[in-house]
Chain A
C-alpha cells in the first residue's frame, strides 16, 4: 500500500489510464487546494525536510546525493512524521501570542508582480510578505493608507496561486469594501457569508451576488433556463437539418426524372430529325416474315395500281405506235412513190415541154389521177399518223401521269406518315416539357433550404457537394445538440449540488467573525481548511476570536490599525488600583498590537536617543528609571576627559552606562564612530516604521527611514570594513532632539558582505531584526497631508514632524485649517493652557509633566437630552420634534442647530461645490462596465462617497440632524451630496468634509463619547480634506482626565478614549503638535 492510497482509499484501485473505467475516481471539480494536499499527502521525508533548518536541509540533500538514499534512522525523525509540522504550527501561535519569537526564522519574501499597478512600494512589500508568509504576517496602517486595497491584492494573489483564503473581519463593511474591488476579477471566486443579522436585500448588489443563495438563485433563474433554451434550439436546428434528408431524397428523384426527361427529349429530337429518312426507308422496306409493313404495303398498293395502268398504257401505246409506224411507213412509201411523179406532174401542169420531164410525163398514163390518188392517200395517212401520234402522245402523257400519280401518292403517304409521327413526338416532347417544368417548380420549392442548391446548379456534382455540406452540417448540428443537451444536463445536475460545488470552488470565503462559525457552508462544522486567513480590522478582534479563526488555516495575515497600547505609557497616568481589573487579554481587543510589537522590528523602539545638552551632543544609551537617578554618576573618559560618561550604579545591581556626552566640537559622525569603536554600541536613532532591505550590485542597504530616498542625502559613518551608518538631517526635530537620524546601514559586497552575513550583523549589533512578517503602510492616501498629520497625532500618537516624507506627494491644503472645533456652547475662552510647570490637578492621582488640565473648568453645559427621560419644561428640544425621534438616545439640539448652520455655510461655499464635483474619488465599485451602477437606480460614484458627511456619535442625534437638514430649505437642494449618519454608517467610506457632532454635553460628570469605543476615531478618519468637530469643550475637559471605566466602556477602552480626548483638549488649548492645523471656533449658545 502506498501512502497516497492510505489517505485516499478509492485511489488504491486506480487502474491504469482507461477511458471509461467506472472505478476511476471522479476528478475534483477543481485542482485540490494546497491545504488539502498538505493535510493529506505529506510523508516522512516531507515533514523531516521542511522541519529542518536550511543548513540541515543542505546536509540531508548532500547525504542523499552520497548514498543515493536517506535512511530514517540516520537522521532524527519524529515518531510519526505526519502531523509533526502541524504540531509545530500548533505551538507557534501560543508562542507568538506570548511574545516568543526566538524559534521564528526570518523570511525574505521575493518581490511580487502585483495586479494593482498603482500600489506603492510599501504596499507591494506588504502584499509580498502576506502572500509568501510561512505562518503569520501583520500589516498595519492608519486609516486611509490603502489597507483594503492591499487586502484585495493579497486575496487576488493568493487566489492566483491556487490557494483558498478565509477573509474575515468584525464588520461586514470591511469585507464588502474589499470584495467590491474583486467583484470583476475572474481569478477570484468569492463567497460572502451573510451574517445572521444582515438584511439580505440590503446588501449591495455586487456583494449580494457573491452569496451562495444569490449565486444559486442566479444559477436557477438564468443559467439553467439559458442552458435549456440553448439545448432546445440546438435540438430544433438539428431536427430541421435532419428533415433535409427527405428533401435530398426528393431532389435525387427530381434530378433522376429530369435526366430521364432530358434523355427522352434527346431521343425524341433525334427521332424527329430522322423521321423522313426513317419513313422513306420504311416505305421501301421489304416485308418481314412475308408481312409487309403497313406503310410499305400501302406504297406497294400505289405501285401496283401504277404498274397496272402503265402496262395498259404501254400496251395501248405499243399498238398505237405500231399503227403509227404502219401509217408512217405507208406514208413514207407513198411519199417515195410521189417523189418521181410529182415533178412529172408539175412539169406537165406547167407545160414545161422543153424539159425532158415533160416528155416523160407525156409518156405516163394517168399521171395526174395517179398522183392525186396517191397524194390523197398520203394525206390520209399523214392525218392518220398524226392521229395515232396524238394517241401515242396521249398515252405517253397518261403514262407519265400514272407515274406522277404514284409519286404523288408515295409522297403524300410519306409526308403524312412523317407528319403524323412528328406530331406524336411533339406531343411526347410537350409532355416531357410539362413534366420537367413541374420538376423545376418542385425543385424550386425544396432547394432554398439547402445550401448551394438554389443557385441553379442542377448537376449531380452540385447536389453531391450540397449533400456533403448537409451531412457535415447535420453532424455539427447533432454534435451541438448533444453538447447543449449535455450542458443543460450538467447545469441541472449542478443546481442540486451548487452549494457543495461553491464550497469546493470558492477560493475566497468572506465572513464576519461572529457569523463564520455558524455558517451552513463554511462554518466550523464544515471542517473546510484554508490556506490563508486574512483578518481585517484585526485591532477590533479579541485574541480568543482570533485563536478560533486561526484553527481554520495554516497561515494568517492580520491587517489593522495601530492601537495605542493601554498597557504601555499613555498621555495620562493610570490609576494604581483600578476599580475593576482589565478584562483578560484574550477577551479584549488588543492582541493585534501585541503581536505587532512582538513581530515587528521597529527602529523607533531602539533605545538610543541623541540630543543636544547645553550645546553638547549626548547619546543616551539606556533610559534611566526614576529610581535609578540617585545612582547616576558622571566621569570623564580616561584618555579623552572631554567626553563624559554617565554611569548608573544601583546597589546590588550591575552598573550600566546610561549616557555619553561629547564635547561641543565633536560632530555627530565622530561621536557615532567613537561609540561604536570604543563602546561597541551601534547608536542608531531612526524614525522609520520598519526595517527594509534593498540590494544593489555594490551594496546591501538596510533602510531605517520612512522615506525611500532618505539614504541618498545621508552621510556615511564608517563603522567597520564595508559597513557604514548613513546619518541624515532631520527636516524637523522635537525640542532638544538632535537634528539627525540614521537613515540606514550599508554593507559593501566587495568587502565580503552577503545578505545572510549582513542580516546576522544587524541582529547582533542592532539587537532587532526584521522577521519578514510585518509591513507598515505609511502613506495616508485618503487625507491631505495636514489633516493626516493632525489625526495621526490625535489617534495614533504619531509625531510626524520627523517623518514628513510619509506625507510627501500628498495634497497639502495650506488654506483653511483641516481640523476645526466648533465649541457649543460658546465660552471656550475658559480653556486655557496650563501654566509652565503646572501639573495635572484633576482626578488622575499621580501627576506627570505630560498630563495637562486647564485651570478653570466649569464643566459641561448640560445641553444633551436623553430622549428616554420625560420632557422638561426648559428642554431646548421643540416638543414637535420628539415624535420624530427615537424613543431613547442622546440628542443635543443646540449642537445640531450649530451643525446645520455650519452645513449651510459649507454648502453655500462655491469652493466646496467645485471640489465636490471634481473630487478624485475612486469609481463606484458597484459600477458596471458600461458605467451604470448595479446597486441602485440613480447611484453615482459620489453617492457611495458623499461630499459632506454629517456624523453624529449617537443615532438619535443623527436622526435629529437628518430631520433638521431635511427641513432646511437651503440644504434641500444644495447641489452637494450630504449624508447623515452615525460613525457605523460611514465605516469603510470616505467624504470630503466631515462634520462630527460629539453630542455629549453633560453638566456635572465625565461622560464617554460614542456608543462604542472606536466610534469617535471612526468619525474623525472619514474625511479626506477637512474635519469639523462640534462639541462641548467643558464636557471634553471633564472627560480627558477621568482615569477609570466610564459608561459602557471598560477601563481599557476608556483609557484609549481618554488619551484621544486628552490630545483633543491639548489642541483646544493650542498645545497640539500640529496646532497650526487646528482651529477653534465659537458656536452658538442656547
Chain B
C-alpha cells in the first residue's frame, strides 16, 4: 500500500505474528515486499485436454463403430440427439459425410481413449514480476490469487510483449517449475509493423502490486498475501511458490542488505524506543539466519532487557533494507562486546 507516495511496511509486531503463523512451514528467513506486477492479457493459442462426457463418448463410439448409425433406429429424442451431435461437431470429433455423421480422426482417437484435445484461441491473463530496478526483463509468476491495481506506475513502466511471447517456447521443465500454463502453446501479439490489430489480439498490461510476506523454506520460497489495511496474513495458502531458482524471479531477495543496513535498522529501532544513540552505537549487530544478534555491553543489555512492552524479547522483529523489499529479522540481544 502506498500512502502519500511512500510504501507502507508492517510493524514488528505483525512480522512476529506472521512468523508464528508460518512456523508450521519451517521458515528459514522472512522478507516483506511490495511486488510490482504486470497483469498482462493477451490472446493465446491453447490446447485443452478434455475427457469425453460418457454419453457423448458412447455416441462417438457408436458412430465410430462399423455399423451405419440410423438416428431413427436409436429412438433417441431427435432434438436431444441433434444437440449431442452438434456438440461433437463443435469439438471437431464428428463431421457430416452427406448421408450421416462419421467421426473425424480426432473423433476416432477420442472414441478409443475417451479424451480429446481441443485447440483454440482465448484471451488469458498472465502475471509478470517487474524487474526494471534490476534491469532485467519481467519474469513470469504464477499467482494463485489476483493482485491489486497499481494506479500510479512510474513513467518508465514498460512491458515488452516478447517476454510473454517467449514463455510458451521455453522448455517444459521451466514451465513446470514456474507453473506456466501447460495448455498455452503460443501467444499472439498482433500483426507486425504496427498494423492495427484485431481487438482480440491486443495485449493489455495493467500495473498491479501485491504486498506479500515471503519466507524461505527448504524447498524454495513461498509468498503469502497480506492486507496492508490491518497487516493480516493469508497464511493458509501461499499466493505463489517458487523452487530453487527463486532468485531469478525475486532478485531483490537474493541481495543481502549490507551490514550498515542492519545497523541502521537497529539504530532506528532504538531511536523509536528511546534508547540513547550512544548506547545503540555501543552494540554490534550481526545477522544469523533470521536473527539479528545484538551484542551489547552488560549495562546496555540490562537496560534493554529491563524495557517493557516494546523491549527486545523473543518475538521482536524489525525490517532492514531500502526500497520495496525488506528483510525481516528477529532481535536477539546478547551480552558482550561493546
Contacts and interface: CB of A to CB of B under 8 A. Distances in A.
B66 A507 contact: no
Interface stretch (B121-129, B224-232, B306-314): B121-129
Interface in A401-448: none
A1077 to B, nearest CB: 45
Interface in B202-235: 202-207
A43 B51 contact: no
Contacts of B254: none
Contacts of B39: 44, 72
A4 B122 contact: yes
Contact of B206 (A44, A185, A190, A215): A44
B75 A27 contact: no
Interface in A7-48: 11-12, 14-22, 24-31, 41, 43-46, 48
A20 B113 contact: yes
B144 A1 contact: yes
Given A41-B123, A71-B205, A489-B58, A26 B199 contact: no
A491 interface: yes
B57 interface: yes
B177 interface: no
Contacts, number: 242
Contact of B115 (A4, A19, A79, A507): A19
A20 B115 CA distance: 6
A19 B77 contact: no
Contacts of B204: 43-45, 48, 69-72
A3 B41 contact: yes
B91 interface: yes
Nearest to A218: B77
Contact of B124 (A4, A187, A483, A493): A4
B84 A505 contact: yes
A1052 to B, nearest CB: 41
A26 B50 contact: yes
Interface string A589-615: 000000000000000000000000000
Nearest to A182: B79
Nearest to B191: A65
Interface in B158-195: 159, 161, 181-184, 189-191, 194-195
A51 interface: no
Contact of A186 (B48, B82, B117, B189): B82
Interface string A69-102: 1111100010100000000000000000000000
Contacts of B159: 69, 71
A490 B80 contact: no
A502 interface: yes
A480 interface: yes
Interface stretch (A54-62, A679-687, A848-856, A878-886): A54-62
Interface stretch (A221-229, A360-368, A887-895): A221-229
A1 B142 contact: yes
Interface in A183-201: 185-190
B133 interface: no
A2 B58 contact: no
B197 A65 contact: yes
A946 B47 CA distance: 59
Contacts of A483: 61-62, 64-65, 67
B94 to A, nearest CB: 13
B66 A479 contact: yes
Chain B's interface size range is 35 or more
A486 interface: yes
Contacts of B145: 1
B62 A487 contact: yes
B153 A73 contact: yes
A123 to B, nearest CB: 24
A61 B199 CA distance: 7
Chain A contact residues, majority secondary structure: helix
B59 A43 contact: no
A2 B126 contact: yes
A223 B77 contact: yes
A311 interface: no
B122 A41 contact: yes
A209 B117 CA distance: 35
A186 B72 CA distance: 13
Contacts of A188: 79
Interface in B37-76: 39, 41, 47-59, 61-62, 64-67, 73-76
B183 A16 contact: yes
Contact of B41 (A45, A61, A186, A187): A45
Interface in A207-223: 209, 215, 218-219, 222-223
Q: Pick the most buried of A22, A65, A226: most chain B CB atoms within 10 A of its CB.
A: A65
B8 interface: no
Given A186-B78, A226-B74, A480-B66, A27 B56 contact: yes
Contacts of B202: 45, 49, 60-61, 64, 69-70
A920 interface: no
B5 interface: no
Contact of A226 (B66, B73, B123, B203): B73
Given A28-B53, A479-B65, A486 B58 contact: yes
Interface string A502-524: 10010100000000000000000
B96 interface: no
A156 to B, nearest CB: 12
Contacts of B149: 79
B182 A16 contact: yes
Given A25-B50, A65-B195, A484 B65 contact: yes
Contacts of B191: 65
Nearest to B64: A483
A68 interface: yes
A357 to B, nearest CB: 134
Nearest to B184: A2
Contacts of A494: 54-55
A26 B53 CA distance: 6
Interface string B84-113: 101100110000000000000000010001
B123 A45 contact: yes
B83 A507 contact: yes
B196 interface: yes
A490 B55 contact: yes
A26 B110 CA distance: 12
A411 B51 CA distance: 92
B258 interface: no
Nearest to B113: A19
A476 interface: yes
Interface in B223-251: none
A554 B195 CA distance: 34
Contact of B53 (A24, A27, A64, A480): A27
A501 interface: yes
A14 B51 contact: no
A66 interface: yes
Contact of A43 (B56, B57, B123, B190): B123
Nearest to B208: A72
A426 to B, nearest CB: 54
B151 interface: yes
Contacts of B198: 61
Contacts of A60: 199, 202
B54 A493 contact: yes
B84 A77 contact: no
A383 interface: no
A41 B122 CA distance: 9
Given A2-B125, A43-B41, 11 more contacts: A6-B125, A17-B49, A26-B53, A28-B87, A41-B122, A62-B196, A65-B190, A66-B194, A69-B202, A71-B159, A223-B76
Considering the complex of A and B, which 10 residue pairs feature the smallest CB-CB distances, nearest first?
A: A490-B58, A17-B117, A483-B65, A3-B125, A72-B206, A27-B50, A186-B82, A19-B113, A189-B79, A24-B49
Interface of A: 1-6, 11-12, 14-22, 24-31, 41, 43-46, 48-49, 57, 60-62, 64-66, 68-73, 77, 79, 185-190, 209, 215, 218-219, 222-223, 226-227, 230, 476, 479-480, 482-484, 486-491, 493-494, 501-502, 505, 507
